[in-house]
Amino acid sequence: MPTYTNSSLVNHTHISPMQNPRVNSYYNPTGKIDKITIHHMAGNLSVETCGNVFQTRQASSNYGIGSDGRVGLYVEESGRSWASGSPENDYRAVTIEVANCQNLDPWPVSNAAYEKLILLCVDICKRNGIKKLNYTGDKSGNLTMHCWFQATGCPGPYLKARFQDIANRVNAKLGQSDPTPTPTPTPSGKIKVGDVVNFLGGNHYYSTDAASPASTNLKAGKAKVTVVASGKHPYHLIHTDSATSVYGWVDASQIKEAQSSTPTTKEYNVGDVVQFKGGNHYSSANATSPASTGLPAGPAKVTVKASGAHPYHLVHTTSATSVYGWVNASQIEGAATPSQPSKTETFKKGDKVKLKASATKWVTGETIPSWVKNSQLYICNWSDNNPCVTINSNLSGITGVVKQSDIYHN
């Protein structure tokens, strides 16, 4: 049986009762540690808070890393944590939870947490005789991720995109890759953060010095420079339209024609009613994948404005479109004239209607349940000029009473 030790990088210890002995006659009869599994906390938890969670929640990990780079120990390496929902994996793996520095897509982690993750993986490998981390993109390797064993988004897009970089950097410190550096390109200085450039297509990378691309053969298109740094891939780009999906570090030779960061398109303000041209909307200003695609065009109100690849949050104002999310600047045009009210809809008993996204309360003041907002409704009666609606197509029963301005024909 192995002689187990714990990492000397630990700053805080709070042992969780949610664990089993590492040695198991079926899953790991020798008790040998030969895998590392990386998770994300889906929140910016300190190592103390994470340790407290693992006292009562039916889950645990061997280690946790906070955004400040501090390390917590929750299950000693002699124990199997309850982390991945897979005894085949967890009896053999040291599991690590990493805090997110932002609570939204793509669930990034701080530089301090990322750098400590590299050092902790190196330390685990050295103490347990793991000569090399082998990231294969599936369960067959010894660097694994939670989402391969359960239906979850863990460890989040940010860390998922960096697994090859983690393996490369850990292996370099273990002496399993050529540490000889290649010449580092220096940014020209002509292109700066905020510039919108033409991405010429090709690969993008997880980091400035990543050896392997995160994605290959990306299409050309417009993108914004969000970070400039020294390295083989010195420019971090985020696409500004759907022509390309670039979202990572690229070579200087892959971009050209820096444009002024001053917007060339019309600026819109919160409260403006604009014409949404149709297409995708997103769950955040910098989301990499659309929440919905192929949305029809129609009028919508700007409710939030932010910096990012999709800078405007729209909420539809009529049933012409169902847009309710973040969109690109190129997807909107011409603010509608506020003084020109839309034509008033008329309703009668038996009409099929739906609630607008802006409707939150019944006329009586109670909150409208979310399941009602997504249901097909029918006008079954009237109360003081307010329509009574029901979910029943035979018009029986009353689900609630709403304002006429809160519904539209469907």
Same structural domain for residues 124 and 225? no
Q: pLDDT tens across 267-314, in order?
A: 888 888 999 888 888 878 777 777 787 888 889 898 888 877 888 888
Same structural domain for residues 206 and 255? yes
pLDDT at 83 over 80: yes
Q: pLDDT tens across 47-74, in order?
A: 999 999 999 999 999 999 999 999 999 9
Q: Where is the domain boundary, 216, 232, 259?
A: 259
Q: What pLDDT was estimated at residue 346?
A: 82
pLDDT at 121 over 50: yes
- Higher pLDDT, residue 181 or 224: 224
Report if pTM > 0.75.
no
pLDDT at 387 over 50: yes
pLDDT band of residue 343 (cuts 50, 70, 90) is low
Tell me if 187 is assigned to some domain.
no
In three-state secondary structure terms, 388 is: strand
Same structural domain for residues 131 and 26? yes
Tell me if 266 is assigned to some domain.
no
- Higher pLDDT, residue 7 or 368: 7
Q: What pLDDT was estimated at residue 193?
A: 80
- Higher pLDDT, residue 120 or 333: 120
**80: CATH:** 3.40.80.10
Q: Where is the domain boundary, 286, 306, 333?
A: 333
Q: What pLDDT was estimated at residue 336?
A: 45
Same structural domain for residues 249 and 277? no
Spatial neighbors of 398 by CB under 8 A, at least 6 apart, are: 380, 381, 388, 389, 390
Residue 64 backbone phi and psi in degrees, to 5: -140, 150
- Higher pLDDT, residue 337 or 315: 315
Same structural domain for residues 40 and 151? yes
Tell me if 50 is assigned to some domain.
yes
Highest mean predicted confidence (pLDDT) among 128-137, 350-359, 381-390 = 128-137
Average pLDDT, the chain: 85
**Residue that has been written with the tokens 């209607």 in this structure:** 353
DSSP codes of every residue in 212-267: SEEEEEEPPEEEEEEEE-SSSS-EEEEESSTT---EEEE-GGGEEEEE-SS-SSPP
User: Phi/psi class of residue 302: alpha, beta or left (left: φ > 0; alpha: ψ in -120 to 50)?
Assistant: beta
Q: How far apart are CA 69 and CA 307, in angstroms?
A: 28
Nearest to 94 by CA among 61, 134, 122: 61
Helices (H), 111-212: 111-128, 156-160, 163-173
Same structural domain for residues 19 and 160? yes
pLDDT band of residue 208 (cuts 50, 70, 90) is confident
Tell me if 380 is assigned to some domain.
yes
**CB–CB of 331/276 below 8 Å?**
yes
pLDDT at 183 over 50: no
Q: What pLDDT was estimated at residue 182?
A: 42
Structure tokens at 313: 């949050």
Q: How far apart are CA 131 and CA 177, in angstroms?
A: 11
**CB–CB of 252/294 below 8 Å?**
no
Same structural domain for residues 101 and 234? no
**Residue that has been written with the tokens 């990088």 in this structure:** 9
pLDDT at 344 over 90: no
- Whole-angstrom CA distances from 55 to 63, 102, 181, 255 are 14, 24, 45, 50
Residue 286 sits in which domain range? 273-333
Tell me if 179 is assigned to some domain.
no
Q: How far apart are CA 84 and CA 311, in angstroms?
A: 36
Burial class (CB in 10 A: 0-12, 13-18, 19+), 161: buried
Same structural domain for residues 48 and 137? yes
Structure tokens at 154: 């863990």
Q: How far apart are CA 18 and CA 33, in angstroms?
A: 19
Same structural domain for residues 43 and 155? yes
Same structural domain for residues 24 and 162? yes
The proportion of the chain whose per-residue pLDDT surpasses 90, expressed as a percent, equals: 38
Structure tokens at 239: 């696409």
Find the length of the chain. Answer: 410
pLDDT band of residue 181 (cuts 50, 70, 90) is very low
**Adjacent-strand bridge partners of 299:** 275
- Higher pLDDT, residue 286 or 95: 95
Tell me if 341 is assigned to some domain.
no
pLDDT at 172 over 80: yes
Same structural domain for residues 404 and 322? no
Q: What pLDDT was estimated at residue 342?
A: 46
pLDDT at 18 over 90: yes
Count of the separate structural domains present in the chain: 4
**231: CATH:** 2.30.30
Q: Where is the domain boundary, 111, 141, 173?
A: 173
Same structural domain for residues 33 and 55? yes
pLDDT band of residue 258 (cuts 50, 70, 90) is low
Q: How far apart are CA 410 and CA 404, in angstroms?
A: 14
Tell me if 185 is assigned to some domain.
no
The proportion of the chain whose per-residue pLDDT surpasses 70, expressed as a percent, equals: 92
**Residue that has been written with the tokens 């299409």 in this structure:** 219
Tell me if 183 is assigned to some domain.
no
